[in-house]
Amino acid sequence: MKKVAIIADGWRKFVNYAWMGGCRQYIKENNSDVNLYVFHSFGDYSMDEKYNIGEYNIVRLPNFADFDGIILELTNVTNPEVKEQIIRKARESGVPTVSLLEEFDGCFFSGTDNHSAMSRIVRHLIDVHDCRVLNFVGGPLDNAENLERFQAYKDVLKSCGIPYSEERVFFRNFEIETGILAFDEFQSRGKVPQAFVCANDNIAIGICHRAEDFGYKVPQDFLVTGYDNFDKASFYEPRITTAGFVREDISYRAMGLLHDIWEGGNKKRRVYSKVNCIFQDSCGCISKEPRSRGRYVVERIFSEDDENKMQNEILMLKREMLNCESFARMAACIPKNLTTLQYDALYILVNEEIASCGDYSSVEMENETQYRVNGYPDDMTVLLSDVRDHVGREDLSLKAGRLIPGAEEKEGGHLFLFSPLHFRDREVGYIVMKNCDYLMDSQMLFEVLNTFQETMENMYHRVILKRMNEELSLLYIRDSLTGLYNRMAYSRLAVPLFEKCMDEGKPLLILFIDLDRLKYINDTFGHDMGNIAIKAIAGTLQRCSPEEAVAMRYGGDEFVVLVPNYTEKRAETLVKEITTQIKKQKKLLNTAFPIEASIGYAVTTEKNMKSLNDYINLADERMYSVKKEKKAERI
């Protein structure tokens, strides 16, 4: 079985499924034992550059050397650094790579001859319609297809003896707004031509639309041509003259190239799909096979109905997710609430640091998770593994070269779609869907991913805020000098522990510790030395107290420790241990002053109605008796 990696970027909120569809068609028709692994992003959709960085991180997930072939569709990737990284990674893998629509050194090519098709359109305007003044309106200057079409425009002008003028050229992007802005620019400078040559249909429609606002008519006042043969070209009024090709045929031929390479046959470097020029109303021609606008309206009605259903499901999904208390429960909402989803398997994987944060039941205080923007950690937590109605969990190690939980596919004919999960530029994980072709015919993939990411990020920030508040709360009840709890912890921690032991009928040991001769130390050696003595006692209490104990600095030189489940006998042992450790601490510090403490204690019983304060006072009295005996011995 062969494995082919496809790297593709979406167009707005849409997956360009034509590229996957052509590959699927080739595999089916030729009974090829091939699986497709599509690493898809929406990296050119948002104006937030950090969001786009998070999207493009998905291309760092696969090790291209693990594949038998690579197909790149990078025409929508406008970030030159990202594009170069992808191409370099493919080259370094040594795996045969086919680029769609754009030619790159070291890669095979499957695409169209933009130059020839655009040349035919421009020559048609000149030879058939006698145009001598032609403006060009193009898309991004870093887009290869745009530049090929622009070069054809210039070459035809030169061959026909028509002077080229930069004043008659306008570049922006491939959206309708480019046509609107271009017309405003040319009209304001008195440069309205006999014909507008546009790099795509969107731009051509923008020209026609804006011209109408100024009272112009197309094609009566000037001609307009487009490119790409989008549906809107034939359904707009006037119908737009354009050039079109079958996108599926380009990726179909790309798979054929890879197949020839695997078989050791004819290794052509380039294959081309046919481009048809369609001359229609906008250049003054009559369309030979006009498409029905009525059919288009019907399709739009049903498309809007499907979109409304999708949006309602997305809203229900978001509502359900907002009620979840963990990322795992949130992930489980997707198959439960999105009834229109069709796939053979769905996996959601996140990095372990993020997974550990998304759980309100966790009471551990952890630092904020690692901020990763490049690549993925070796170990991933599987939030969801939904395989044909069987839900399971199996964490995944990427070090082993596996990208999907479970056994590796042993037969071809499958498509796996990988999409990134991220908080802006911060890596979170990724989602995998097996054989989800239906999902890619609409904006649903984008909407599902966006909804899941937004609710995950909201929960993540709520958890972090909760933990920050807990940390601040702990700082409020912590003594800054010793690190023990302070007197404010009495009601927050000590009283609840006392009440719990009383309710459960368990004994509670209350220790009252007083540092001996603190005034003498302060007066003779200074308050800094007094602080050293206080910290020495506090440190000993921290080391000797069991994990479940609550140790407090009760006053300047007074300490209280509450230890659950301690009897009188265990209390005596603990007091001796603390006394011994204080003596060891004195020797370790080698101070010129004594470090000693007097300790009294009391153990609660379930037979009386004393309060915690009563027991603390009792332990204090016993401590004072010990202190008096020490003074008597010194005299």
pLDDT in tens, 178-203: 999 999 999 999 999 999 999 999 99
DSSP 530-583: HHHHHHHHHHHHHHHS-TT-EEEE-SSSEEEEEEET--HHHHHHHHHHHHHHHH
Q: Mean per-residue pLDDT for 369-395?
A: 74
Tell me the backbone φ, ψ of residue 174, rounded to 5 degrees: -95, 15
Residue 152 near residue 118, CB atoms below 8 Å:
yes
pLDDT in tens, 127-165: 999 999 999 999 999 898 999 999 999 999 999 999 999
Give percent of the chain above pLDDT 90: 64
Please tell me what DSSP assigns to residue 360. T
Query: When comparing pLDDT for 535 and 338, which is higher?
Result: 535
CB neighbour class for 157 (10 Å; exposed up to 12, middle 13-18, buried from 19)? buried
pLDDT in tens, 260-299: 999 987 678 999 999 999 999 999 999 887 777 777 677 7
Q: What count of residues does the chain have?
A: 635
Q: Where are the alpha helices (DSSP H) in 99-143?
A: 114-127
The Cβ-side half-sphere exposure at 519, using a 13 Å CA radius, reads 0
Confidence label for 369 from pLDDT (cuts 50, 70 and 90): very low
Q: Mean per-residue pLDDT for 442-453?
A: 84
Confidence label for 607 from pLDDT (cuts 50, 70 and 90): low
- Contact residues for 42 (Cβ-Cβ < 8 A; gap 6+): 9, 10, 13, 55, 446, 449
Confidence label for 360 from pLDDT (cuts 50, 70 and 90): very low
Residue found by looking up tokens 């079109």 in the block = 244
CB neighbour class for 531 (10 Å; exposed up to 12, middle 13-18, buried from 19)? middle
Using CA atoms, how far apart are residues 598 and 511, in angstroms rounded to an integer?
10
Task: Judge whether residue 475 has pLDDT over 90.
Answer: no
Using CA atoms, how far apart are residues 129 and 283, in angstroms rounded to an integer?
8
SS3 readout for 437-453: HHHHHCCHHHHHHHHHH
Spatial CA neighbour of 591 closest among 553, 513, 535, 551: 535
Maximum separation of any 2 CA atoms in the chain, in Å: 124
Q: Mean per-residue pLDDT for 28-38?
A: 95
Neighbours of 4 (CB within 10 A): 25
Average pLDDT of every residue of the chain: 89
pLDDT in tens, 551-577: 999 999 999 999 999 989 999 999 999
Query: When comparing pLDDT for 560 and 388, which is higher?
Result: 560
Residue type, 387: V
Using CA atoms, how far apart are residues 460 and 516, in angstroms rounded to an integer?
49
